Amino acid sequence: MRDQAYLDWPFFEPRHRKLAHDLEAWARHHLTAHLEPDTDQACRRLVRLLGAGGWTRYAVGGPAYGGMREQIDTRAVCLIREALAYHQGLADFAFAMQGLGSGAISLHGSPEQKARYLGPVARGESIAAFALSEPEAGSDVGALCTEARAEGQNYILNGQKTWISNGGIADFYVVFARAPGSQGTKGISAFVVEAGTPGLEVAERIEVIAPHPLATLRFNHCRVPAHQRLGEEGQGFKIAMQTLDIFRTSVAAAALGFARRALDEALYRATTRALFGQTLADFQLTQARLADMAVKVDAAALLTYRAAWLRDQGQRVTQEAAMAKLTATEYAQQVVDGAVQLWGGLGVTRGQVVESLYREIRALRIYEGASEVQQLIIARELLKHFKETQTVKGGIGDGV
């Protein structure tokens, strides 16, 4: 059983500790780290499984619509993602996309939209997707080109989205598109587009090193009723950023789950592998590596749950979430790499847990804001705060 002593940290309430213990017992019984041959089928099965277990209720807001709490509990989402990532990467993916794909509806959906979409997502009966990225618009949302032209009581969508998680298996997509002639982040609106809508095509399935359902979507005169728009016209950028703000910290939690599993696998290997008449753990080089891995895990955990706790207190966490994601994903990559090294040849053998972790962790340093973007966000927030608090002209030598 994995060590959960960190649950005694003051970031958590009794309900969080109970959630973590219950989920750990459930995950040990239901999840496996081994790959399944059909990724689409595996993802559908996991969504149903998570729904039946009651876990996807934490991914949506509003008890009236199937959610666990009125507001999405960031700490709960992070604890769930950490535990699922520890046991099975695809299970973490399945849970996270239920939240990200429906998050905009939780935040800005009308009562009718929430009733239609959130309940099935919370029960694991419907699969959600978040369609923001485009071939030339990833981290730069203001560069998106997909167009939404108003026509009577409808919008006509034309354009392309890519790197869309759950693309090809989702029951609906939250799609971001701009008004004709608009530029930058202005003029972008969000729409719920159901799979099977005429003009929506899965143009290409994308294969990545850690098997997940991903696709490129094409919109060709796709007619979407105006009542499927989320929020007001032109609010799309704000809706996208608020949705990502909820789940960006949880990306750090997923990385933390991968890192904890890698450290446990490294400890097991080091203490059981005989080498030159002793165990691998008896060598000082091994001990130094393990110590470095443990420090990185705890540093990532502290930043992750600080950001989650602050957000649950209603505070703005742009800088804290960026620090958590940057640190947790970069450190997790290093911890997983260290585990692979300690496992030697077996560490790069397909089917081994550490080999799977090595493929799983890499994408987390890119999606929902690459590490370089997180650095820019942190620096921007630091400079902004410094300028706002600069009350005396001159440098720090003048008493600032």
**Catalytic site positions:** 368
Cα 222 vs. chain centroid, distance in angstroms? Answer: 28
Rounded CA separation 61/327 (Å)? 28
Rounded CA separation 87/34 (Å)? 10
Rounded CA separation 287/255 (Å)? 23
Q: Annotate 330-376 with DSSP letters as a single string.
A: HHHHHHHHHHHHHHGGGGGSTTSHHHHHHHHHHGGGTTTS-HHHHHH
Rounded CA separation 165/147 (Å)? 21
Rounded CA separation 169/98 (Å)? 12
Classify residue 287 by its DSSP letter: H
* Helix/strand/coil for 224: strand
Classify residue 37 by its DSSP letter: S
